[in-house]
Amino acid sequence: MSEILAIGSYTETDLAGLREMGARVVASLDEMRGLEEAERGDVRAVAYKGHHPFGAEEMALLPALGVIANYGVGHDAIDVEAAGAAGVRVTNTPEVLNDDVADLAVAMLLMQQRRMLQGDAHVRSGAWAGGESFPLNRKVSGRRAGIMGLGRIGRDIAERLAAFKMEIHYHSRSEKETPGWRYHADPVDLAGAVDYLVVALVGGPETENYVSREVIGALGTQGVLINISRGSTVDEAALLDALEAGRLGGAGLDVFEGEPKVNPRFRALETVVLQPHQGSGTRETRAAMGRLQRDNIAAFLAGRALPTPVN
């Protein structure tokens, strides 16, 4: 058995890289649980790609475990506190995916406001050729944008929206150095001050329903919510109620509660753009994420400093 165990569904490129390091690959945590005790006992490093909880119980099944290298910057599936208590290091893949996630956030905003899905259907259906005019939609440039969570990705989104001549507002737990962007200590205040609210928070219990019914209410009938963070950061029931009642103008969502099963109420809404959690989903970025994941494992096994540690 190998001292590296890769868990998850990897691309051919990543599989080749992992196998070159001598990794054993299993598809899921369930498959890991089914390995012989002796096989599990050899594992010192796990490459993890998944959203199912990886907690104390799973770590206990791997007694020699020293590192969990997460594929992705969001490591909310891994119980970092339990890892610390068990002497297990956790790493993630920050920075390399910022551009793609920020691009998708902006794309969803443009798609929602310019009704590009409906425009595409208008051309394909022959309605345009048949002389039907396409209704006017909303101007994006020059509006007011709020970023909920001005971290690495949030900042890249703000910079893009600034290039669209937007006034940038943000909420974080503390004020940051910015090129004159407006800070709001209260998330509801932020939502009340902007046309568009883009959520770029970490996921996990501390930010659950951070975008609350009140925040959604403050965004208002013309407001648009974009979420590229995690489904858990938004009160989804409140979001659906507001969209259905026309109390919120629209939404662009890449992440959902209970994904990939998406609440069917979303499907009936014309005002939402829905994406299959593909923020970092380009070949280039996914390859860079895989490399960084493997670099962290290689560093751990060689006793070197971890390139991107979480704990």
Residues that bind ligand NAP (CB under 6 A): 73-74, 94, 97, 101, 149-154, 172-174, 200-203, 206-207, 228-230, 254-255, 277, 279-280
Active site residue 283: no
Ranked by CB distance to ligand NAP, the top (closest) residue is 151
The least distance separating ligand NAP from the CB of residue 174, rounded to whole angstroms, comes to: 6
Nearer to ligand NAP, 62 or 253 (CB): 253
The least distance separating ligand NAP from the CB of residue 216, rounded to whole angstroms, comes to: 17
Nearer to ligand NAP, 229 or 293 (CB): 229
Catalytically annotated residue among 39, 247, 259, 265: 259
Nearer to ligand NAP, 7 or 150 (CB): 150
The least distance separating ligand NAP from the CB of residue 210, rounded to whole angstroms, comes to: 6
The least distance separating ligand NAP from the CB of residue 105, rounded to whole angstroms, comes to: 8
Expressed in angstroms, the distance from the first to the final Cα of the chain is: 27
Active site residue 277: yes
Q: How far apart are CA 72 and CA 5, in angstroms?
A: 17
Catalytically annotated residue among 44, 152, 213, 277: 277
Nearer to ligand NAP, 209 or 263 (CB): 209
The least distance separating ligand NAP from the CB of residue 91, rounded to whole angstroms, comes to: 13
Nearer to ligand NAP, 280 or 296 (CB): 280
Catalytically annotated residue among 230, 236, 257, 286: 230
Q: Are 213 and 198 in contact (CB under 8 A)?
A: no
Which residues are the active-site residues?
230, 259, 277
